[in-house]
Amino acid sequence: MDRILLGHGSGGKLMHELIKTHFSPAFGIEGAGDSAFVDVPQGRLAYTTDSYVVTPLFFPGGNIGELAVNGTVNDLAVAGADPLYLTCGFIIEEGFLLSDLQKIIASMSAAAGKAGVKIVAGDTKVVNKGKADGIFINTSGIGVLQNNRSIAAAKIKAGDAVIVSGELGSHGVSVLAERNGLTFDPPVVSDTRALNGLVSAMYGASPDIHFMRDPTRGGLATTLKEAALESGLCIRIRDQSLPVPPGVKGACSLLGLDPLFVANEGILIAILEHAAAAAVVKAMKGHEHGKHAAIIGEIADAPAGMVLLETAVGGSRIIDMLQGEQLPRIC
């Protein structure tokens, strides 16, 4: 048997064999209960959930499985939490190749191991052929906030520095290229990766980070606009400070896209006191996922709720949220 059958989601023998053969060994899950019992260190808990419907399922640099793990780990990490445990739910279309499912499961297991988290429970449903698009994955995650960490837009202050941890636009361009059979020189691969180790390095350099977020759908522009609106302050960024790799620049120029609005899956933005920014960037550059970290701007009092991009010729451009859906099914 090389494909998923409806019986694999029935709760009967086929489903138990699927879990026992594929999911349990990969994730180290013992038993078949619907809940997991885990030990959590003292502290405040952070909890998140997300669903992944990316198409295509496999793209340069990753696939839907590791994307699901890394995305959930990152949602916890940018909240200031140390990610500990994940659960995952699979909605699989009848006829889906078991070999592809095994690749996805293996990549999830590897991503969880690299991030230092454990997948402890899950669920599997199978729907009729034509009622889904291969496979959808939902993940939930729990983490613990140590040392009274607090991340909130309300903590942002005028004079704070704005930092981005890496290059912009790689994930969106990678998925778009695979979806449409395009190739670019240099090639563009997704930046999907877990950022909790990078966040730990940042906290090692400064314990007082005011705000963090990962700019996924809607890109850097949308995330910064959200921060400006939530804080009631103005974010000023410099065009020449933005780390955009050559492949993304070329692809965006060819396709009429703006790298500021293209999705990312392996970078974060951080806002903190300007006095600590250089030390934090130095710590980030010492981590494998922060080699392209840069200070890209500052916080100002006015105009309130605005994001302004200072151009290379000395002008400024208003940056707003992404209007509509630039690239659907990107994560």
- Residue recorded with tokens 């419907």: 53
pLDDT digits (tens, 9 = 90+) for 301-329: 999 999 999 998 889 999 998 877 778 89
Query: How far, in whole angstroms, is CA 143 from its chain's centroid?
Result: 16
Please report the domains of the chain, with CATH numbers, ordered by start residue. 6-145 (3.30.1330.10), 153-319 (3.90.650.10)
> Alpha-carbon distance 124 to 294, whole Å?
42
Sign of CA dihedral 309, 292, 171, 105: negative
Contact 223, 94 (CB under 8 A): no
Query: How far, in whole angstroms, is CA 95 from its chain's centroid?
Result: 29
Structure tokens at 7: 């019986």
> Alpha-carbon distance 94 to 151, whole Å?
42
Contact 171, 330 (CB under 8 A): yes
Which helix (H) or strand (E) covers residue 162, if one does? strand 161-164
- Residue recorded with tokens 């963090």: 212
Phi and psi for 279 in degrees, rounded to 5?
A: -65, -40
Cα 84 to Cα 34, 48, 87, 104, 150: the distances in Å are: 18, 12, 11, 21, 18
3-class DSSP assignment, residue 206: coil
Q: Do the bridges between strand 294-300 and strand 161-164 make them parallel or antiparallel, or are there none, so unpaired?
A: antiparallel
Q: What is the DSSP string of 254-294?
A: HHT--GGGS--SS--EEEE-HHHHHHHHHHHHTSTT-TT-E
Predicted confidence pLDDT, tens digits, the chain (331 residues): 799 998 887 667 787 788 888 988 988 887 655 677 778 887 889 999 999 999 999 999 999 999 999 999 999 999 999 999 999 999 999 999 999 999 999 999 999 999 999 999 999 999 999 999 999 999 999 999 988 899 999 999 999 999 999 999 999 999 999 999 998 888 899 999 999 999 999 999 999 999 999 999 899 999 999 999 999 999 999 999 999 999 999 999 988 999 999 999 999 999 999 999 999 999 999 999 999 999 999 999 999 999 999 998 889 999 998 877 778 899 9
How many Cα atoms within 13 Å fall on the side-chain side of residue 224? 26
Cα 220 to Cα 16, 158, 225: the distances in Å are: 43, 20, 9
Q: What is the pTM of this model?
A: 0.93
Q: What is the DSSP string of 106-140?
A: HHHHHHHHHHT-EEEEEEEEEE-TTSSSSEEEEEE
Contact 176, 196 (CB under 8 A): no
Q: What is the DSSP string of 10-65?
A: SSSHHHHHHIIIIIHHHHT--S--S-------SSEEEEEEEEE--SSSEETTEEHH
Contact 184, 175 (CB under 8 A): no
pLDDT digits (tens, 9 = 90+) for 131-149: 999 999 999 999 999 888 9
Structure tokens at 230: 């939530």
